[in-house]
Amino acid sequence: MTLEALRMRIGAADFTRLLRQWAGEHRYGNATIEQFQARAEQISGKRLGHFFDAWLRTPGKPADW
């Protein structure tokens, strides 16, 4: 659900670019949510702190999404 909500938030083209870059950069390793958020913000040009707080840092499904 989180990834679909992110796709809706940043748009399909930026989401696809994000996933392709992310998979290529972290193919053989691990990364953090903060790194994923930073890359998503870089690609989309949007501030996504509230989104990631609501979806990944707060228990339960966000009420306003």
Residues in the chain: 65
CA neighbor of 22 nearest in space, from 1, 41, 2, 50: 41
Q: Is the pLDDT of residue 64 over 90?
A: no
Q: Is the pLDDT of residue 65 over 80?
A: no
Which residue is associated with the tokens 């989401």?
15
* From 5-9, 18-22, 45-49, 58-62, the region with the lowest mean pLDDT: 58-62
Q: Estimate the crossing angle of helix 2-10 against helix 12-25, to 10 degrees.
A: 120
